Amino acid sequence: MYNIAIISGDGIGNEVMECCEYMLDKLDLNFSFEYGEAGFECFNKNGTTLPQETLKIANKSDAVLFGASTSTPGQPSPIINLRKELNVYANIRPIKSYKGVKCLRDDIDFVIVRENTEGLYSQVEYGDEDKMIAERIITKKASERIAKAAFNLCIKRGQDKVTCVHKSNVLKKTDGVFKESFYNISKQYPQIRTEDYYVDAMAMYLITQPQNFDVIVSSNLFGDILSDESAGLVGGLGLAPSGNIGDHNGLFEPVHGSAPDIAGKNIANPCSMILSASMMLDYLGEWESANDIKNAVEKVIAECKIRTPDLGGNSSTMDVTKAIVKELI
Ligand code: NAI
Ligand code: MG
């Protein structure tokens, strides 16, 4: 029996989570779901975007599934705080070309490993109306930890290169530490090739030679931006899952947000959420189910029959989910 914390959040977060639960219920596994609130609607109701009760549920679960939340003006981001509170320091974002989807190339298969706990996502900003300062902390400890996570993931994926992305020509001290920590840790993995690029050049290389990357490791903001760019190479945010993994917790969520432009229309692509659940099962050691889900999603997408409007179809969120479940059972 797995204890799963379900935090659907706002907008399409609710719609894709409903589908994800529907799919999990059809698996030959035992789950007990506990529900937590977070996000904009939660703030309107409870005066906080991330109640203590939700943190408690997340902390005692075996894994957390998060949908998406709409940002609340003047309030901290629940997902950023949740990642920090659970100390899930490695944000893993796989990017892959799918058959039947218009991708930049058909041989893209890399993963972005984004540092989750520090960098420019400190949410610490201060100053006055003339001058504002945002805090960007980079520590040796977190940089080495994320580098290690990247090298270990490279081995797990059977790939052989890790690319470090930074901006140490300008952010000499902070990104100096990030880059140096990467190369220090790389000495423990002599079988893995290494390289590093400035983030601006990397933004271009992701377009001109995405097939050349295996594992990309970067700090919080750069990793966030590059992962949305990368999702654009392979069919958009509807196909971009992610996992946030620490030493004791795992939190799984689609890369996309609450998509207010399509919320309530039942046309959101559920695949990012469903593929995130597959990453969760992999984390829980349920490798067979994890693989089955991935294969079912790939099959439904490749058939080009039942798909949501973002992929050029006219099926609903639940239609796609049911087609995936049909492949599973
Ligand atoms: P977004 O990711 O919600 O949407 C960007 C574009 O992608 C929109 O055109 C949307 O319709 C489309 N899209 C996203 N997911 C899709 C799906 N599953 N199927 C089909 N199309 C999809 O980003 P946006 O518009 O910048 O932000 C909307 C809200 O979400 C904001 O309040 C933002 O702060 C929040 N947000 C929350 C995140 C989270 O909770 N992890 C992450 C990113 C944004
Ligand atoms: Mg993002």
Q: Are 239 and 272 in contact (CB under 8 A)?
A: yes
| In the predicted structure, residue 289 carries a pLDDT above the cut 90 | yes
Indicate if ligand 1 lies below 6 Å from the C-beta of 70. Answer: yes
pLDDT surpassing 90 at residue 179: yes
Say which ligand is closest to the CA of 221.
2
* 180, 204, 233 - which closes a domain: 233
Report the chain's mean pLDDT, rounded to a whole number: 97
Q: Are residues 156 and 267 in the same domain?
A: no
Nearest ligand 1 atom to alpha carbon 13: 40
- Same-domain status, 252 and 226: no
- pTM comes to 0.94
Cβ of 237 less than 6 Å from ligand 1:
yes
Ligand 1: which residue has its CA nearest to atom 31? 70
* Structural domain boundaries, residue 173: 104-233
Rg (CA), the chain: 19
Q: Is 69 in the pocket of ligand 1 (CB under 6 A)?
A: yes
Q: Same structural domain for residues 294 and 174? A: no
Residue 123 pLDDT: 87
Quick one: pLDDT at residue 174? Answer: 97
In what side-by-side order are the strands of the sheet with 250-254?
31-35, 2-9, 63-68, 250-254, 241-245, 90-96, 109-115, 215-218, 161-166, 193-198
3-class SS at 158? coil
323: CA distance to ligand 2 center in Å?
A: 28
Q: Average pLDDT, stretch 284-310?
A: 96
Q: Which of 84, 220, 256, 273 to mutate to test the pocket of ligand 1 (most atoms within 8 A of CB)?
A: 256
Tens-digit pLDDT profile for residues 8-36: 999 999 999 999 999 999 999 999 999 99
95 part of a folded domain: no
Instruction: Give 99-130 pLDDT, tens digit per residue.
Output: 999 999 999 999 999 999 999 998 899 999 99
CA of 195 to the centre of ligand 1 (A): 32
Q: What is the DSSP letter of 310?
A: G
Q: Exposed, middle or buried, 80 (CB in 10 Å: 0-12/13-18/19+)?
A: middle
Quick check: CB of 94 below 6 Å from ligand 1?
no
> Each residue of 35-76: pLDDT tens digit?
999 999 999 999 999 999 999 999 999 999 999 999 999 999
273 CB within 6 A, ligand 1: no
For residue 204, what are its two tokens?
Answer: 């271009």
Q: At what angle do helices 12-25 and 317-328 cross, to 10 degrees?
A: 20
- In three-state form (DSSP H/G/I as H, E/B as E, the rest C), the secondary structure along 126-152 is EEECCEEEECCECCHHHHHHHHHHHHH
Number of domains within the chain: 2
pLDDT digits (tens, 9 = 90+) for 308-326: 999 999 999 999 999 999 9
Q: Is the CB of 238 under 6 A from ligand 1?
A: yes
pLDDT bracket for residue 239 (50, 70, 90): very high
Give residue 182's pLDDT.
98
Tokens, residue 322: 């049911």
Predicted confidence at residue 94, as pLDDT, reads 97
Q: Which CATH number does the domain housing residue 196 bear?
A: 3.40.718.10
Given this model, what pLDDT does residue 210 score?
98
Q: Is the sign of the CA dihedral 197, 201, 203, 206 positive or negative?
A: negative
Residue finishing a domain among 233, 259, 277: 233
Structure-block tokens of residue 187: 């000495």
Strands of 202-270 (E only): list them.
Answer: 215-218, 241-245, 250-254
User: Using 50, 70 and 90 to split pLDDT, how confident is the model at 235?
Assistant: confident
Within a domain: 96: no
